[in-house]
Amino acid sequence: MSEDRAADEQVDGARATVRLSPDALADLTKDILEDTISNIIFSTALESHRSEKLLRMQSAATQAESVALSSLELQPSIKSANSSSQPSVPTAETSAAKYENGRVFLKGNPLKTTPEIICPHCKLPRLMHPIMGKGMQNPDLTKEYCMLYPWVQRQGHDVYGNPFPTDMAKSKKERELIKQQQKNTEKESVGTPGSQDTDMAGGDTQSKEIKLNTGGKPASYIPWHTCPNCKRSLLITRFAQHLEKCLGISGRQSSRNAMAKLTGNGSGTGLGNTPLGSRMGTPAPGSQSDILPKSKGKGVSPVKKLNDEDDEGDNDTPEKKKKKKSSYVKKADRERGGRDGSVLKVKLKTGAGRDPERKASDSSERPDKRDREDTNDPDGAPKQKKIKLSLGRSDSNGGAENGASQERRESK
């Protein structure tokens, strides 16, 4: 629109002085079109020039800063020996920049001086090409990279390079069958990991090479989650179905729960014949989400609270949410729990590589499998694992950088 306006004025100017030749309109159209297209290209090119140059500028600065700070770290001994009056001003100079007391002065054009992009946060180089799929290049695995990899574009894989979950919709039996089959084939060909996608670049775990980490799970992975209401552990894909029954929205339990609500009695079972007239202190149905005070175990319904009382207080994670130990422990779990000394209820699996093998009995197999995946020690300390469970929040806030990186290595 605006282009046209400018063009009109140009035309007006031309008309005033010279008579137009018949070809003028064609020429003019061509000129305008060319200029406009060239402008689009110019803007696009400048936009990517800007984003790239800003990255390189920051990289040059980050490198200079790192040099300055590492030299600073070497100094304290000398400094304390000389005088403690003035802390030395950190300075450093690289071929691309000069660092002086918190400010960085660039030298030359960073597009020429700084070929690598360094993450300003973790100070590690960024990978420049996707690790698989469209435009992939095998990176130099002797170096460690910033975890923000270029996005992967590959059929059947997400942006991180994890394969899509495959058997979400399958029933438990079907999944177990597949597991069994995988296990059998793995037995036949020992040593070849089940899924090559997730760790294509770093096939052998034993080597000192740094492995690329897509961070995800094998395709067959479906997480388990503890129901906040009844503390049962169940597949996430079945959650809505379960919760519906558990909350008594519909299904077998709903009429009983409804009746329990009416009677104002917490137990929720077996009181169907209480006369309706005897209700006392009835909470208005439907408003309970607003009026209930926040109880210790989040989301514990009044119906179930009684049953849960006995496990309050053991297994205390500082966070109030989730990962509460359940009173509902399957028999197999209980046995196993006795042996291990603790009951692991949270099915957080790490280890992107191996396809987990599962025995037919799911429940007894779970803790076992975790151990095998995470460490090579079959009786790996489950206590240590617990740290991981609380990672999401405490690490990021608490600044336990070392812990985080440890976790990273562990999960490879």
Partner 1 sequence: MDTASAASKAAPLASPKVVKNSKGALVPSSQMAHIAYGCEHMREMLENVKKATFNNYRAILQDIHEKPSVISQTHKSPATGDGRPVVSLRPLYLCLQCPSIMTETDRDGHIESKLHCFSVESRDGHLYCGHCQDFIYDPDLEVRRLQKGKKRKYEDTTTTDDHKLIISNSTFLPCRAIGLRGLYNMGQTCFMSVILQTLMHNPFVRNFYLSEGHRTSECEKEACVSCALDEMFVEFHSSEKTEGFGAVSMLLGSWLAGEALAGYQQQDAHEYMQFILNTLHLQNGGSSDSEDCTCVVHQTFYGKLSSTVTCDKCRNVTTALDPYMDLSLDVRNQIKKRKLDVKSGDEIQLDLRDCMERFTGREKLAAADYTCQNCDSGQNATKQLSIKRLPPVLPIHLKRFEHTKSTSSKIETNVRFPLKLDIYPYTTAHKSTQTKAAKLANAPNTNHNMNSPTNSLIYELSSVIVHKGKIDSGHYVSYSREGNDWFLFDDSKVVLVSEAEVLGAEAYLLFYMVSGLEM
Q: How many residues does the chain have?
A: 412
Q: Is 406 among the residues that bind partner 1 (CB under 8 A)?
A: yes
338/399 with CB nearer partner 1: 399
Applying CB under 8 A, the span of 272-280, 330-338, 368-376, 404-412 interacting with partner 1 comes to 404-412
Question: Could you give the CA distance from residue 260 to residue 271 in angstroms, rounded to a whole number?
Answer: 7
Asked if 317 interacts with partner 1 (CB under 8 A), we say: no
Structure tokens at 180: 């069994």
Name the segment binding partner 1 (CB under 8 A); options: 38-46, 175-183, 362-370, 378-386: 38-46
Per CB under 8 A, the list member of 131, 182, 211, 216 interacting with partner 1 is 216
Q: 382-389 vs 362-374: helix axis angle to the nearest 10?
A: 90
Report whether 382 contacts 371 (CB < 8 A): yes
Minimum distance from CB of 250 to partner 1 (Å)? 6
With binding defined as CB under 8 A, does residue 70 bind partner 1?
yes
CB of 7 to partner 1, least distance (A): 7
Contact range with partner 1 by CB under 8 A, out of 310-318, 325-333, 356-364, 388-396 = 388-396
Q: Give the one residue of 43, 80, 189, 206 binding partner 1; rule: CB under 8 A.
A: 43
Report the amino acid identity of residue 308: D
Distance CA 401, CA 412 (A): 17
Between residue 368 and residue 387, which ones bind partner 1 under the rule CB under 8 A? none
3 binds partner 1 (CB under 8 A): yes
Least distance from partner 1 to the Cβ atom of residue 330, Å? 20
SS3 28: helix
If binding is defined by CB under 8 A, does position 306 make contact with partner 1?
no
Distance (Å, rounded) from C-alpha 120 to C-alpha 122?
6
Q: Residue 226: helix, strand or coil by DSSP? A: strand
C-beta of 183 vs 412, nearer to partner 1:
412
Smallest distance, partner 1 to C-beta of residue 188, A: 29
| DSSP-assigned letter for residue 236 | G
Residue closest to 326 by CA, chosen among 339, 341, 315: 315
d(CA 71, CA 89) in angstroms, rounded, equals 11
- CB of 335: closest distance to partner 1 in angstroms? 28
Beta bridge partners, 224, equal: 235
Nearer to partner 1, 108 or 338 (CB): 108
Determine which residue in the list 170, 183, 232, 238 makes contact with partner 1, applying CB under 8 A. 238
- Asked whether position 61 contacts partner 1 by CB under 8 A, the answer is yes
What whole-number distance in Å separates Cα of residue 29 and Cα of residue 45? 24
CB of 102 to partner 1, least distance (A): 2
Which helix (H) or strand (E) covers residue 408, if one does?
A: helix 401-410
Q: Which of the 8 DSSP states describes residue 337?
A: H
Indicate the angle between helix axes 391-398 and 382-389, nearest 10 degrees: 70
Residues 128-187 that bind partner 1 (CB under 8 A): 144, 146-149, 151-153, 158-160, 162, 164-165, 168
Instruction: State the number of binding residues for partner 1 (CB under 8 A).
Output: 115
Taking the least distance from each CB to partner 1, the nearer of 223 and 338 is 223
Q: How far, in Å, CA of 132 to CA of 200, rounded?
A: 8
The continuous run of DSSP H or E covering 103 comes out as strand 103-106
The answer to whether 328 contacts partner 1 (rule: CB under 8 A) is no
The residues in 72-101 that bind partner 1, with binding defined as CB under 8 A, are: 72-73, 87, 90, 99, 101
Pairwise CA distance, residues 388 & 381, whole Å = 12
Q: Which stretch binds partner 1 (CB under 8 A): 18-26, 35-43, 261-269, 366-374?
A: 35-43
Q: What is the CB-side half-sphere exposure of residue 156 using CA atoms within 13 A?
A: 7
Q: How far is the CB of 54 from partner 1 (least distance, A)?
A: 6
